[in-house]
Structures are given as structure tokens and as C-alpha cells.
Amino acid sequence: MALHPGVSRPPANVLAVLREVAERLPERPALIAPHPGGGSRAITFRRLTNRIDRVAAGLRRLGLLPGEHAIVMVPMSIELYVALLAVLQVGAVAVFVDPWIGARQIAAFAASVAPRAWIGVPKSHLLRLLEPALRAIPWSVTTGRRLAGLPARRTLAELEAEPGDGVLHPATPEEPALITFTSGSSGEPKGANRTHGFLRAQQRALAAEFPAAPEDVDMPMFPVFSLNNLAVGVTSVLPDMDLRRVDRVEAGTVLRQMTAHGVTTCTASPPFFDRLAAHLATAPGEAPRLRRLLTGGAPVSDAQLCAWRTAFPDTEILVAYGSTEAEPVAHLTAEERLAAVHTGRPEAPGYCAGRPVERLQARLLRIHDGPVELGEDGWAAWEAAPGEIGELVVAGEHV
């Protein structure tokens, strides 16, 4: 692994972990994705790191420098991870925006980070025609063909046609790696900044709380879990669905995909599992042999858990709680959640979220205005009473 001249310390760059996996498991499939024309296509860990290295070298030749920002607008696919991880290999910062956000709002986001590159599917470049600020981004790459009138200087295939150089920006734990922008209810840009140190800490936390077996094949609906799978050498099968319309997922298609590729674990939102359970209620013979389901991102009702348990009677079902800034925070099994309703306080609002994970420090504070100022009693004066609604505060390396 080549580092920048004069650098001798071990790199904090998350790509270093992927390269170690590729050396250990070169021929294991890293990603299996639906093919636009039907069927599927796969890429091994060795081939993935090779493609990333070629694209990273191409981005450097274009002029992208460490610390600069690159907007990435590619749906969940092999190309997404090639582009994203190439940006990180350069030492630049990948910027994501919600795919349903319009050009004007994207321009507002861009104004706050001054991106130097735009990497996206051909349709994403059409957005740049609508906003002068987006057209002014210096370096642009399309994952498809370069169409007439499309403001894209290079294609991903052109970058890959040139050899890679193996150079990995070492990065420090404090250097930004990913920024995710959402619009929120106010319409103002809301960015979540993940550093290289945070991503590696999150990978360690996820691996500790939801350990993978050597033979596992995972279907992750959330891109962050695909990154974790790459870090631990687990094959990811990307679901054949439109992530913007989870409530309309073709359950039969996804279930057949699971069976065809030997999926053993699945991480997805509650509506995703609702669709699978509803389908299996009328076609139980189509159920794949899964050992674990992991869900989060939205509240889960007792009725949902019972429906999932009926659909997957022999599968461990875990409900995780967390946020963009801290994931995971807590989790529990479906059985623990259902039992908590009967042994706790059934009239209490909300749902049981489980116990905080070991790598976090957590306290429930009484609701208050202003900052917390600790006195002689420390946290005791601020903590909520048992059964009282409060504010959860957490600390840890993946926060």
C-alpha cells in the first residue's frame, strides 16, 4: 500500500481496512447488485479495490485534492461504492444529498461546502443545467455515457481505463470523510459530518454488536451497513428496489434475490420488512433461510413484530435505536421488546429501545433549556426520575 511521500504513520483512512480485507479474501464477492437488463452482477474484493484505485488516480489527474469536496449522486450500486471510496482514497470528502431534492436546494447545499467535483448518473447532471452554481463545479464525472449537451467532462469508464497508482491518502482520524445533507422541515441545509475516525469507530461498534459469521451474506438497505460489510469481509447483496419508494418494494422479487444468493442476514427499515411479511402471509413457501433481521430508522409496533415473527419463525429479529450522529445506540430482540410491554409499564408512552451498547456512555436527563452545567452532584442533579420522559445524551468514539 503506497502512502504519500514522507508519511510513515498507519493511515486512518477507511480504505486501509478494505485493502486489508482484499488481501485476505481477494476472490470473495464484495458486492452483488441487480443488473439493469435483468439478473445480477458481482464484484470481488480484489476487483473492487482495483477499480477504486483506478478511479482515485483519475480523480487526482483531474485535479481533485485532499480536503476538497465531491458531490456524489449515484444510487445504491457497485458504481456508488467505486465512486465513493475513490473519493475517500484521494482524501477528498464525499457529499451526499437526498435523491429527491431539487436543483435549487442542492445549489444551496453546495454553497456551504464549495464542491470541486460532481460525480453522478447522467440524470443528475441535468440538474446542473438548471443552476449556474452547479454548472460552475470544475470537475464532473458521469457514471454512464457522456451525452450531447450533458455538462460532464469525463465518464467513470474513462477514469478506469487509465492505470491506478496505489496511493492512499493517509488521513487523520479527525479528517472529514462523508457529509450527508438533508433538507429538514425548514428547507435549510442540514449536514451530518462523518470523519474517518468516526467511520472506523462505527464499524467497530457495529461489528461488536451485530457480529457476522464467516459464511454470512447480508442484504443491507442502508449504505452505511454496506460499508461495514466491506470492512469485515461480508458479501453485500444490494436489494432490487427503489430506495425512495420502500413502501412499494416488490417483495417477491427481493425474496427470490435472497434465496438465489444465499442471503443469511438482512438490515432494512420497518416498511421493508412489512412488505416481506405481507407477501409471505400468502406465500410462506417463498421465505428464505435467514438467521437475523435487523431493523431501525423508525418506530416499530408490537403488531409489526408479531407479523415479522410469523413470517420468519426461526430468525433472530433485532430492533436497533440510533441516529445519524450515533449508530448504534441501543438494541433488543423482538422477544425482549414484546416482553417489556407486559412486565414494564404498559401505559407508558413510546417503545422500549433496549439497553445502550457497551461502547457508549448514556444518561437520561430531565428536559431543560440551555446547556448542562455540572455542579458538585455531577449528573445526579440533571438525571430524569425513573419513568419520567427525558432527553437521552450519549458519548463514545462512534458519536
Judge if 340 and 372 occupy the same domain: no
Q: How many CA atoms lie within 13 A of 235 on its CB side?
A: 21
Q: Does the model's pTM come out above 0.85?
A: yes
Tell me which of 135, 169, 195 is where a domain ends. 195
326-361 b/e with 16+ CB inside 10 Å = b? bbbbbbbebeebeebeeeeeeeeeebbbbebbebbe
Per-residue pLDDT, averaged over 78-92, amounts to: 98
Residue type, 64: L
Per-residue pLDDT, averaged over 377-391, amounts to: 88
Q: For residue 309, is it within any domain?
A: yes
Per-residue pLDDT, averaged over 128-150, amounts to: 86
Residue of 301, 253, 292, 256 whose CA lies nearest to 274: 301
Q: Which range among 96-110, 214-228, 371-385 shows the weakest confidence by mean pLDDT?
A: 96-110
Judge if 55 and 183 occupy the same domain: yes
Judge if 181 and 264 occupy the same domain: no
Share of the chain above pLDDT 70, in %: 92
Judge if 350 and 363 occupy the same domain: no
Each residue's pLDDT tens digit, 303-314? 999 999 999 999
Q: Is pLDDT of 8 > 50?
A: no
Q: For residue 128, is it within any domain?
A: yes
174: confidence class by pLDDT, cuts 50, 70, 90:
very high
**What 3-state DSSP class applies to 213?**
coil
Judge if 264 and 184 occupy the same domain: no
Residue 286 structural domain: 239-358
Q: For residue 206, is it within any domain?
A: no
What is the per-residue pLDDT for 350? 76
Tell me which of 165, 195, 225 is where a domain ends. 195
Judge if 366 and 350 occupy the same domain: no
Q: Is pLDDT of 227 > 90?
A: yes
261: confidence class by pLDDT, cuts 50, 70, 90:
very high
Judge if 281 and 399 occupy the same domain: no
Residue type, 240: D
Q: State the Cα–Cα distance between residues 236 and 21, nearest whole angstrom.
A: 14
Judge if 190 and 306 occupy the same domain: no
Q: For residue 228, is it within any domain?
A: no
Judge if 191 and 257 occupy the same domain: no
Residue type, 101: I
Compute and round to an integer the Cα radius of gyration of the chain: 22
The count of domains in the chain is: 3
Whichever domain contains 155, its CATH number is 3.40.50.12780
Whichever domain contains 268, its CATH number is 3.40.50.980
What is the per-residue pLDDT for 189? 57
Q: State the Cα–Cα distance between residues 233 and 24, nearest whole angstrom.
A: 9
Judge if 112 and 145 occupy the same domain: yes
Q: For residue 222, is it within any domain?
A: no
Q: For residue 212, is it within any domain?
A: no
Residue type, 342: H
Q: Can you list the alpha helix ranges (DSSP code H) found in the chain?
A: 15-24, 45-62, 78-90, 103-113, 122-128, 132-135, 156-161, 196-209, 223-232, 251-261, 270-282, 302-311, 334-343
Q: Which range among 42-46, 259-263, 277-281, 348-352 shows the weakest confidence by mean pLDDT?
A: 348-352
How far is the CA of 205 from the CAs of 41, 86, 215, 264, 342, in angstroms? 30, 24, 20, 20, 30
Q: For residue 221, is it within any domain?
A: no
Q: For residue 213, is it within any domain?
A: no
Per-residue cell: 312:
420468519
Judge if 149 and 259 occupy the same domain: no
CB of 38 closer than 8 Å to CB of 244: no
Q: Is pLDDT of 108 > 80?
A: yes
Judge if 246 and 294 occupy the same domain: yes
